[in-house]
Structure 1
Amino acid sequence: MINTVIFIFIILEAFLVAIAARRVLGVPIGWPRSALIGLLVILGLRANISFVLDYAGLPQNQVLAFPSPMALLFMGLAAAWIFALGVAALVVLELAVPTGTLPRISVWLRGWKARRHRAKRYTQVIGIAARHGLGAYIRGHRGSDPHAGHTRVARSLTLALTEAGVTFIKLGQMLSARTDLIPEEFVVELSALQTRAEPEPWHDIEPAIAAGLARPVSEVFEHIDPVPLASASIAQVHLARLLDGGDVVVKIQRPGARAQVESDIEIILRLARWLNKATPWGHSLGVYRLAEAFTVALGEELDYRVELDNMRIVGAIMASYDGGKIAVPSACTDYSTPQLLVMSRLAGTPVGEAAEMLNSLGSDVRRNAAEKLFKAVLHQIMVAGVFHADLHPGNIVVDEHGGLGMLDFGSIGRLDQTTQRSLMMLLHAVDTKNAVAAADALLDLIERPEAFNERRFERDVGLVIMRYRTGFGGAGSTSMFTALITLITGHGVAVPAPIAATFRAMATLEGTLSLISPDFDMVASARADSREILAAEFTKDSLRENLEKQLLMVLPVLQRLPRRIDRITEDLEQGRFSVNIRTVANKTDRGFFTEIVKQLNTTLLAGAATLGAILLITSSTGPMLTPTVPFYGFLGFAMLFAAFVLALRALVLVFKRNPGPPLE
């Protein structure tokens, strides 16, 4: 019973010490580590109290039984210093392993099984990378050049991603589209990654479709072809017929695909964080930022509701577009879920597989089809602001009459009105070979850094325009848009995601159009279409409408302007005019300066207390507190304790900026 009471009393003391330590440091520290330090302080005090009393020349038995004021004074100083050492240990622990970097104990225990699986998968991925000769790049031992031995490294990376599975294949496909970041050799090798995979057995797919429908398959479909029309690593597509006789396409997510992707995403983020921190090339490419963007895009791809909404938007745009019909599937919303998408079937064959059909069409039909597609995409980008961002040959179907349709709306780009206008001006400037206007349009599209040489940027843009002065044909839009992105990044400017998506979409479209009609003149079409769009943008009616909108915005200001001018002139005449400037008007700025002043004051007080303590401790004069301890020395150690605590507080505030709530 007595031992239990003593144990409870020690725990209570440790808790009180933990509260005091957190208050002294002034920043949120995790409770587990604070309680542990508090317990060590209590145990250390009990173990060292006898040593302190011996040093002071006080008899232990009498003091502990009947403590005198002198004994209490020494015991208090000893407790203060042991507490200070405990706080110092807490600061060191906080600097080494900040609060929040370790998971909660409860979370750690609950997630043990998942963590063990993730560790096993992580080891497997690292082993695959090492087996393909990429270990040195992961460890950061290849210097600052990420592109040494381009072709060999690119081929090894492609093989490693293929072996690692679906999520890493998707990562390689995303990287193959970032021609603004990786060399051409990597783009070529990674572009060879295919998502076509062995089809899932029908006895596994049918229950997944039924689960998505929340009813038996026979209650919705008259027939489903068990042989998939297409099979990728995440999903596969089957032809089907509804009970009402409508032909549809069923896109079903493979069972277990989401769980595998979510597990691999954590590994990709962890690897990216390490590469961004440990390797010069990873930091220069911003691999962690790329990994985050990839996880967001892949998360949307796993949710077919996003694709359904994208399909609706693009379908509405194409329905209202009078430049020629581009078919877009209509979704069966009653049967579509996050893992199941049912849509109408488009007649035709993907362009990448339709060489024989295209050859049977006349050159005029093929040219008209290419022009219709090109105009539709320009309309999406320049007018609607929402466009299909991945129009590769597999996502465009063509029928025997030259009719076209769009597929796969998992990747959609969106542009605001200002960006659309800047892109229109860029196309017009390239068409007219106006380097100054092209540079201005590009500068409107990007965020220029502080140290930016605008004249040099303008000259480089002029060189690109002169190099591709024939427009988008000849060398191809792929080369021109890649050159523009490379030029932008070469000037230390990050390409915003919507702009990069637009440039990649145009580059991808060029390859598709060349398959539809090799003799299609993109130069003439781009010039004619850009002029038409600009003409429609700046008609008398549109200008009058824009002017009315601007006037409505500034009308309240104009109404108050005469009164304000009158007041200013009257103050000037009477000598009452003054200007008030609040240098720190923002609350955040005031808080920042307040914290700086607090840290400075704390540091000055710690330094002054330390100097005073040293002077007192080294003093050889003054009265004696006990036969062995001078009064000034005791006072110096007390002052040194205060200086030590202040220094710890200043130190932890320096390394713990903008502290948040404790996470442990």
Structure 2
Amino acid sequence: MAILDIAVVVLLAIAGLIFLLLQSWLAATVVRRVVGVPIGWPRSIAVGFVMSAAMGVTVQYLFRAATGQNTNGLNVTAPVAAIFLVLAVGWIFALGVAALVFIEAGFPTGSLPGPAAVFTGWKARRRRARRYSEIISIAVRHGLGSRLRGFGRGDAVERDAKTARALRDALNEAGVTFVKLGQMLSTRRDLLPGVYIRELETLQTKATPEPWESIEAAIAERLGRPLSEVFAEVDTTPLAAASVAQVHPAVLLDGTPVVIKVQRPGALEQVDLDSDIIIRLAAWLNKTTPWGKSLGVHALAKGFAGSLEEELDYTVELENMRSIEHSLNAGSFKVTVPHPHAEISGERLLVMDRLPGLPVGSAGALLTSLPAARRSELAATLLGATLQQIITDGVFHADLHAGNIFISPEGTLGLLDFGAVGRLDPATASALAMMLYAIDKNDAAAATDALVELLDRPEDLDVRKVERELGALLTRFRQGFRAGGSQQMFGLLFGLVIAHRFTVPAQIGAAFRALAAVEGTLLLIDPGMDLVAAARAEGSRLVSAKVTFGSAKDEIEQQLMSLLPMLNRLPRRVNKISEDLEQGRFSMNVRVLAHPADRRYLTGLFQQLVVAVLAGAAVVGAIMLITSNGGPLLTGQVRLYQVFGFALLFGGFVLGMRALMLVFKRDGGG
């Protein structure tokens, strides 16, 4: 019998819990509908649970009041208790709506981890927390925290130089992903001052080498066999130590000199963790800051993480190498690309023929020994090959810094590191070529058209103003300028792009970064080179080569083929229009607010206005009824009109909360 009683109690408890959960779900559903915007279910059900509990306590209290069981409390008749119960339930509901509105305003849905995340993912959260603390510790140790207040009391130039050095050192110590982030920032001359660019550029080649023991184990693991079965000799001293990979010279069993590019042990895991941190931070900035959303920092971070993930896959680099090799072999510029050995390469290991010579950044003595005419010829060859890749082929090396360009003792050029390769569609490549051609011809109108075609234009762009400013820029540099002064022109051009709020597409940005990176290398090869003048001349030559009779004929044929279906329908359409004009049936339809976004915007404003007016009217009417002394008494002190007033106030309160939530969501862009 005792077991049966326990079973009954347990069943009743389970039934009561299920009823409470259903009641909470129902209350949450109603609250979500009243608020009028999508709100997360966990917080809605939590608020509904509190409401259900409060309603249960209220029902018990008013039941005792109606049956005379409240010794020192409220005692009323059953009808009055029922009226009070309706009012109490309504106000509990209203307070639940208010709680949900303020929770949503302070912590929007999606900004906090879900309930499942509390019980899962502890290992990943511990790793992220540990990495967060490491990054903060590195930043503080290098003095970046004090940058908020300024470094000391020196002048601004000194503070900026000190901050740039601290940022470089902190990024270098933080590891692979942050070094890559610094490398990307070092190409953004449109965003950072020159002192930061100069310091961050040193991240391109200055990375601490990994010990040979760990590198040897990594090579053997990725080969799937001992090194002695593939290589006759491997030099334990690295040729280069980059942020992600390390390069060692070696000799194959057949005597071929090669280099081994091997990914650093743990680089992939570290990049995955740091990329996740960067994306999470960017998502938070995208949701909580207007500038984050306007800049699209979340999309930028995901793009950066995606490009870095691709760079860590050496099979992609191998295909990039083949594409660039084919492009250069088909052109007129002699630039060498090393031959890859695909049979012993993989996702984390790349073996390629060894290029003779040194990186341009380390070949000062070799360059000095070359005649000035030969150095100018080499610079012209490198620039021509770069422009040919971008303008003619649409496939280009996007990371042409001085560490990725080799010069041989004979004075020939070669390219390395094909992890970052850009690709342009034919229309974009032609627009870029036309911009260079228009700059060479000092044609501001054509240069403006090409610039607008290249970039994503803002809706309120003043094309005439852009043309005037670009024309003034071309006039200023028409006669050329001193060596290295091209940086000034690029800076002014980037300033014009930013001032008019153009958006630079990713591949166009890659082309600009390639030109910006190769500029420094060209000036190392030939300090007297005028990059813009050379680019103008070479770009004009490449465009002229493209605009031949044969290419023009092919282009016209292609355009005519695309227009042929429309030309076939044109006579019928012209005939219909002429008949409508003759019969007086011709009419034009203009639809106001045809775009769905415009209709949604006006509808939302009208809804806000209606809800706000109704809420205000309800609150004013409620105040008048509550303060009224007329009407019959329900109890010794409570009048019927006052009850109506509190009921009306409940309606006004709920409508006010709905209006407030609509304002929050509109301001937040939701």
Call closer, same or farther: CA 1:593–1:466 in 2, change over 3 Å.
Answer: closer
Q: Which has the higher contact order (CA 8 A, sep 6+)?
A: 1
Q: 1:269-293, CA deviations, whole angstroms, 9 ceiling, x for partnerless residues?
A: 5666788999999999997776555
1:162 lines up with 2:184 in the alignment:
no
Counterpart of 2:199? 189
Amino acid in the other structure paired with 2:111: T
Matches within 5 A, 1:435-454: 435-449=444-458, 454=463
Call closer, same or farther: CA 1:387–1:42 in 2, change over 3 Å.
Answer: same
Kindly state the Cα deviation for residue 253 of structure 1 after the two structures are TM-superposed. 0.9
Counterpart of 1:560? 569
Counterpart of 1:424? 433
Counterpart of 2:586? 577
Q: Write the distance in 2 (CA, Å) between the matches of 1:284 and 1:87.
A: 31
Worse-matched range after superposition: 268-277 or 475-484:
268-277
Q: 1:308-364, CA deviations, whole angstroms, 9 ceiling, x for partnerless residues?
A: 23212212211222x133221233334333322222333333223334444555555
Counterpart of 1:324? 333
Which residue, 116, 119, 139 being the options, matches 1:106? 116
Kindly state the Cα deviation for residue 124 of structure 1 after the two structures are TM-superposed. 3.5
Which residue, 200, 208, 218 being the options, matches 2:210? 200
Aligned to 1:393, what secondary structure does the other structure show? coil
Worse-matched range after superposition: 115-124 or 546-555:
115-124
TM-score computed with the length of structure 2 as normaliser: 0.84
Contact 1:138 1:279 (8 Å CA) reproduced: no
Contact 2:219 2:227 (8 Å CA) reproduced: yes
Q: 1:172-219, CA deviations, whole angstroms, 9 ceiling, x for partnerless residues?
A: 332222111111222223223354444323332233223323445455
Q: 1:247-288, CA deviations, whole angstroms, 9 ceiling, x for partnerless residues?
A: 432211111122223333445556667889999999999977
Kindly state the Cα deviation for residue 148 of structure 1 after the two structures are TM-superposed. 8.8
Q: 1:365-390, CA deviations, whole angstroms, 9 ceiling, x for partnerless residues?
A: 54443333222212111111221122
Counterpart of 1:237? 247
Counterpart of 2:3? none
Counterpart of 1:511? 520
Amino acid in the other structure paired with 1:93: I
Which residue, 264, 270, 275 being the options, matches 2:274? 264
Kindly state the Cα deviation for residue 648 of structure 1 after the two structures are TM-superposed. 2.6
Which residue, 168, 172, 184 being the options, matches 1:174? 184
Q: 1:511-559, CA deviations, whole angstroms, 9 ceiling, x for partnerless residues?
A: 3334445566767854553343222322222222222222222222222
Call closer, same or farther: CA 1:473–1:282 in 2, change over 3 Å.
Answer: farther
Call closer, same or farther: CA 1:472–1:376 in 2, change over 3 Å.
Answer: farther
1:395 lines up with 2:393 in the alignment:
no
Q: Write the distance in 1 (CA, Å) between the matches of 2:28 and 2:158.
A: 54
Counterpart of 1:373? 382
Which residue, 334, 341, 350 being the options, matches 2:350? 341
Matches within 5 A, 1:4-403: 4=10, 5-6=12-13, 7-8=16-17, 9-49=19-59, 52=62, 59-60=68-69, 71-138=81-148, 149-193=159-203, 195-243=205-253, 245-268=255-278, 294-321=304-331, 323-361=332-370, 365-403=374-412
1:502 lines up with 2:511 in the alignment:
yes
Contact 1:485 1:495 (8 Å CA) reproduced: no
Aligned to 1:192, what secondary structure does the other structure show? helix
Call closer, same or farther: CA 1:274–1:190 in 2, change over 3 Å.
Answer: farther
Kindly state the Cα deviation for residue 97 of structure 1 after the two structures are TM-superposed. 1.2
Amino acid in the other structure paired with 1:411: A
Contact 1:617 1:637 (8 Å CA) reproduced: yes
Contact 1:205 1:255 (8 Å CA) reproduced: yes
Contact 2:66 2:77 (8 Å CA) reproduced: no
Worse-matched range after superposition: 253-262 or 343-352:
343-352
Q: Write the distance in 2 (CA, Å) between the matches of 1:146 and 1:86.
A: 53
Counterpart of 1:408? 417
Call closer, same or farther: CA 1:372–1:241 in 2, change over 3 Å.
Answer: same
TM-score computed with the length of structure 1 as normaliser: 0.85
> What percentage of aligned pairs have identical amino acids?
51
Residues paired across the two proteins, number: 657
Contact 2:485 2:530 (8 Å CA) reproduced: no
Kindly state the Cα deviation for residue 628 of structure 1 after the two structures are TM-superposed. 5.1
Q: Write the distance in 2 (CA, Å) between the matches of 1:641 and 1:58.
A: 27
Worse-matched range after superposition: 302-311 or 465-474:
465-474
Which residue, 649, 652, 661 being the options, matches 1:652? 661
Q: Write the distance in 2 (CA, Å) between the matches of 1:386 and 1:269.
A: 28
Contact 2:440 2:536 (8 Å CA) reproduced: yes
Call closer, same or farther: CA 1:339–1:472 in 2, change over 3 Å.
Answer: farther
After superposition, the CA RMSD in angstroms is 4.1
Matches within 5 A, 1:590-605: 590-605=599-614
Worse-matched range after superposition: 329-338 or 290-299:
290-299
Kindly state the Cα deviation for residue 408 of structure 1 after the two structures are TM-superposed. 0.7
Q: Which runs of 5+ in 1 are unaligned?
A: none
Worse-matched range after superposition: 72-81 or 444-453:
444-453
Contact 1:609 1:643 (8 Å CA) reproduced: yes
Q: 1:46-74, CA deviations, whole angstroms, 9 ceiling, x for partnerless residues?
A: 333465568x8763489x9x995654443
Q: 1:609-649, CA deviations, whole angstroms, 9 ceiling, x for partnerless residues?
A: 44444444444444455565443333333333333333333
Q: Write the distance in 1 (CA, Å) between the matches of 2:588 and 2:623.
A: 51
Q: Write the distance in 2 (CA, Å) between the matches of 1:552 and 1:512.
A: 44
Amino acid in the other structure paired with 1:391: L
Counterpart of 1:537? 546
Q: Write the distance in 2 (CA, Å) between the matches of 1:197 and 1:520.
A: 30
Q: Write the distance in 2 (CA, Å) between the matches of 1:295 and 1:396.
A: 25
Q: Write the distance in 2 (CA, Å) between the matches of 1:47 and 1:309.
A: 71
Call closer, same or farther: CA 1:98–1:294 in 2, change over 3 Å.
Answer: same
Aligned to 2:53, what secondary structure does the other structure show? helix
Contact 1:57 1:627 (8 Å CA) reproduced: no
Call closer, same or farther: CA 1:12–1:511 in 2, change over 3 Å.
Answer: closer
Contact 1:176 1:187 (8 Å CA) reproduced: yes
Q: Write the distance in 2 (CA, Å) between the matches of 1:113 and 1:139.
A: 36
Contact 1:301 1:410 (8 Å CA) reproduced: yes
Amino acid in the other structure paired with 1:151: A
Q: Which runs of 5+ in 2 are unaligned?
A: 1-5
Contact 1:58 1:71 (8 Å CA) reproduced: no
Counterpart of 2:557? 548
Kindly state the Cα deviation for residue 103 of structure 1 after the two structures are TM-superposed. 1.0
